[in-house]
Amino acid sequence: MILLIVLVVVAGLAFAGFRLFGATDLAEGYLYEEENLLLYAKVTQAEEIGVEITEWRVVTEKGIPVLKTREESYKATVDEHQLTLRQEGEKTWNASVTKEELILHDPVTEGLAADSKWQASDLAGFESKRKALEERVQQQAEQKKKEQAIEEERVRIAEAGDKFKRLKADLQENSEYLDATQFSDETSVAENQLAHMQSLLEEVRMYAEQTSMNRMEFEVMQATVDSMKVIRDGAGTIQENIDRKKTGMVNLTEILEADVAELDKIWEQVISQLPDAKSQEEEYKKVKETVAASIAQAKERLAAGEQTVAKTKQDIEALYGNAAAMLQQAKAKYQF
């Protein structure tokens, strides 16, 4: 890191130089130049000698160069060409001074080397250096901000692109999972139960239509009706399975619709930045079409499944009702 340091020692603005206590000739000021630090020190003569130093330092905050300033005051003593600075306590700083040069044996600020040599300069020279430093830092800061903005945009686009790809993959996977949610097992079981109930009803009817019936035949008829009741009661389990799958489908559909909305939003952000925008657009449209088709087909399957199971359950209830009525008639007829 290059530093710019300026130390200006001034006894009064009307003089280009002065003699301290009539013994030591001093310049109006002293310059030490590096790149990122600027010091200005003014000697005062009131009741006692003092030195006031103002510091301009270039620091980096979040990657941006910023010019910071601070002030320090010292008491000073001069013995021939030896200058001693002092603050509160016993801390001192030693220097050698002539009209042409100032040598600081002890650094007065961070980054300043010991025995640094400072060249005589007037106040106008110092102000010129300070102004140049401010302009340079401002230009560097603006450039850094532009670079950061470009980098932030690049990162944003990259992150959006990655998220776009992940959403496409998630949508594809969830669409396949939704497609796999079928109701064929439930409808098949319901239809088998209905067929079994019809078969059992025929057995009950056979006994009911007999011209006579003994106790054993009645008990067989009663056991058949009890079997039909078990099937009737179990029909509710099928509906529970459908309701469970329906809840999963609704949840998955909401996730898919939310992901599609997010995909649309990201697409608007990245479309102008993608090098392969045309092929990406084809994939984007294809994924949306796939999701829309999966949701529509899932709703159709759900509606059909619910309708089939509900109709079958109704038919089973009716068959059981017929069988139970025949059993009661036989019981009354034959006094069992």
At 40 the three-state DSSP class reads strand
pTM tops 0.75, yes or no: no
Q: CA 218 from chain center: how many Å?
A: 74
Residue 48: count of CB within 10 angstroms of its CB:
9
Distance of CA 238 to the CA centre of its chain: 43
Q: Is the pLDDT confidence value at 228 over 90? A: yes
- What pLDDT score does 164 carry? 86
Per-residue tokens: 68? 């910071």
pLDDT band at 314 (very low <50, low <70, confident <90, very high): very high
At residue 13, the pLDDT reads 32
- Any residues with CB less than 8 A from the CB of 9 and at least 6 apart, and which? 26, 27, 28, 29, 30, 41, 42, 43, 51, 97, 102
Which residue in this structure is represented by tokens 């140049």? 132
Q: State yes or no: pLDDT of 49 exceeds 90.
A: no
135-189 pLDDT, tens digit each: 999 999 999 999 999 999 888 888 888 888 899 999 999 999 999 989 889 899 9
Question: What's the pLDDT tens digit per position in 253-277?
Answer: 999 999 999 999 888 877 777 777 7
CA distances from 16 to 27, 98, 117 (A): 7, 14, 20
Q: Please tell me the distance from the alpha carbon of residue 221 to that of residue 243, in angstroms, as a whole number.
A: 35
Strand (E) or helix (H) holding 52: strand 49-61
Above 50 in pLDDT, residue 292? yes
- pLDDT of amino acid 22: 46
Cβ neighbour number for residue 98 with a 10 Å cutoff:
14
Q: Which residues pair with 20 in a beta bridge?
A: 24
pLDDT at 10: 39
Mean pLDDT across 289-306: 92
* CB within 8 Å of 73: residues ≥ 6 apart: 50, 51, 52, 53, 87
Mean pLDDT of 217-237: 92
d(C-alpha 197, C-alpha 228), whole Å: 6
Calculate what percentage of the chain has a pLDDT beyond 70: 92
* Two structure tokens written together for 95: 């220097």
Across residues 47-74, what is the average pLDDT? Answer: 88
Closest CA to 334 of 228, 216, 224: 216
At 92-111, the pLDDT tens digits run: 899 888 888 888 898 888 88
What residue spans define the domains of the chain?
Answer: 3-121, 163-334
Amino acid at 86: R
Q: What percent of the chain has pLDDT over 90?
A: 45
Helix (H, G, I), strand (E, B) or coil at 244: helix
